[in-house]
């Protein structure tokens, strides 16, 4: 049986919106929404929250188990080492990298990324080589075998902080696949929606997400297609359209 470990990197020390993973959305913490939506994917075997050993992140280590997630702690700046520890401990076949500021992470995307690795025998799947999805609903998936090869060579600070840039910077060493929106959505209105921000980096992002979670009705988790349609119908995209994404 193939095992898939989802590793959610989370910390409270964000420079632009400190403590954002512990913000409330519809009465539940952002981090809980991320864990719940990740675990909702059919392919996921277990969910691990990888946070730092800094005292300010004790709150993450305290709450994550209440969401049925395991916890790994390590260096605040060297996130790659946190992932290495999780991979050693859980020994998965496939690893998912998910960030704790994505409370609308898409379970169908997760399953599609895992499926692409299994069907096409590729090393790494993402949506950022040619982006066609809104920011905040995707993740990265990679084989544990390729991760070991990659992490042995990833020595630059940006590789250690952001975990996966080495894959994309050395595409000749790995089989990469870019998952596109028409592989998830049949509706053309949901495809190529790079105009939307569904991630949480600044206060404007929180305003949008808070409205979505407060105003929409849902059971278990909000369907991402319904979220996009709701944003369009109510003109909510303008709330955070001015926010610029940080680059690696």
- Tell me the per-residue pLDDT of 44-59, one tens digit each, with 9 for 90 and over: 999 999 999 999 999 9
CATH number, position 185: 3.90.550.10
Please check whether residue 120 lies inside any domain of the structure.
Answer: yes
| b/e 130-145 (16+ beta carbons within 10 angstroms → b) | ebbbbbbbbbbbbbbe
- Quick count: other Cβ atoms within 10 Å of Cβ 149? 15
Residue 247 has pLDDT above 80, yes or no: no
* Structural contact between residues 31 and 100, judged by C-beta atoms closer than 8 angstroms: yes
Please check whether residue 180 lies inside any domain of the structure.
Answer: yes
Range of the domain at 173: 4-195
Please say whether the dihedral angle defined by the alpha carbons of residues 54, 136, 173 and 147, taken in this order, is positive or negative.
positive
- Could you tell me the maximum CA-CA distance found in the chain, to the nearest angstrom? 48
- If phi > 0 it is left, if psi is from -120 to 50 it is alpha, else beta; for residue 19 that is left
Q: For residues 160 and 85, what is the distance between their CA atoms, to the nearest angstrom?
A: 13
Please check whether residue 200 lies inside any domain of the structure.
Answer: no
Please check whether residue 237 lies inside any domain of the structure.
Answer: no
Q: Encoding tokens for residue 216? A: 């929409």
pLDDT confidence of residue 14 = 81
Confidence of residue 237 (pLDDT cuts 50, 70, 90): very high
Q: For residues 43 and 139, what is the distance between their CA atoms, to the nearest angstrom?
A: 14
Please check whether residue 74 lies inside any domain of the structure.
Answer: yes
What total number of domains does the chain contain?
Answer: 1
pLDDT above 90: percentage of residues in the chain? 96
Residue 6 has pLDDT above 80, yes or no: yes
pLDDT confidence of residue 28 = 98
Average pLDDT over the chain reads 97
Residue 4 has pLDDT above 70, yes or no: yes
Q: For residues 54 and 11, what is the distance between their CA atoms, to the nearest angstrom?
A: 9
What is the DSSP pairing of strand 124-126 with strand 140-143?
antiparallel
Q: Read off the pLDDT of residues 74-97 as tens digits, 9 standing for 90 and up.
A: 999 999 999 999 999 999 999 999
Please check whether residue 218 lies inside any domain of the structure.
Answer: no
pLDDT above 70: percentage of residues in the chain? 99
Q: Give the phi and the psi of residue 9 in degrees, each rounded to 5.
A: -85, 130
- Quick count: other Cβ atoms within 10 Å of Cβ 119? 9
pLDDT confidence of residue 248 = 65
Q: Read off the pLDDT of residues 60-79 as tens digits, 9 standing for 90 and up.
A: 999 999 999 999 999 999 99
- Quick count: other Cβ atoms within 10 Å of Cβ 87? 19
CB proximity list for 16: less than 8 A, separation 6 or greater: 201, 202, 246
pLDDT confidence of residue 246 = 73
Please check whether residue 133 lies inside any domain of the structure.
Answer: yes
Please check whether residue 92 lies inside any domain of the structure.
Answer: yes
């Amino acid at each position: 049986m193939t095992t898939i470990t989802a590793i959610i990197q989370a910390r409270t020390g964000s420079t632009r919106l400190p403590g954002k993973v512990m913000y409330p959305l519809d009465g539940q913490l952002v981090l809980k929404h991320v864990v719940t939506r990740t675990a909702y994917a059919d392919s996921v075997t277990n969910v691990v929250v990888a946070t730092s050993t800094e005292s300010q992140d004790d709150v993450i280590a305290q709450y994550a188990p209440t969401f049925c997630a395991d916890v790994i702690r390590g260096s605040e700046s060297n996130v790659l080492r946190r992932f290495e520890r999780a991979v050693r401990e859980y020994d998965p076949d496939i690893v998912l990298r998910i960030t704790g500021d994505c409370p609308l992470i898409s379970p169908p995307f997760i399953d599609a990324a895992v499926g692409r690795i299994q069907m096409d025998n590729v090393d790494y799947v993402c949506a950022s080589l040619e982006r066609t999805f809104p920011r905040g609903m995707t993740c990265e998936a990679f084989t544990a075998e390729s991760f070991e090869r990659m992490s042995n060579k990833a020595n630059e600070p940006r590789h250690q902080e952001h975990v996966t840039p080495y894959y994309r910077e050395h595409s000749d060493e790995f089989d990469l696949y870019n998952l596109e929106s028409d592989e998830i959505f049949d509706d053309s209105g949901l495809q190529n929606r790079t105009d939307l921000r569904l991630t949480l980096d600044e206060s404007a992002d929180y305003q949008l997400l808070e409205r979505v979670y407060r105003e929409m009705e849902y059971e278990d988790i909000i369907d991402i297609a319904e979220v996009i349609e709701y944003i369009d119908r109510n003109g909510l995209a303008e709330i955070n359209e001015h926010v610029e994404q940080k680059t690696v």
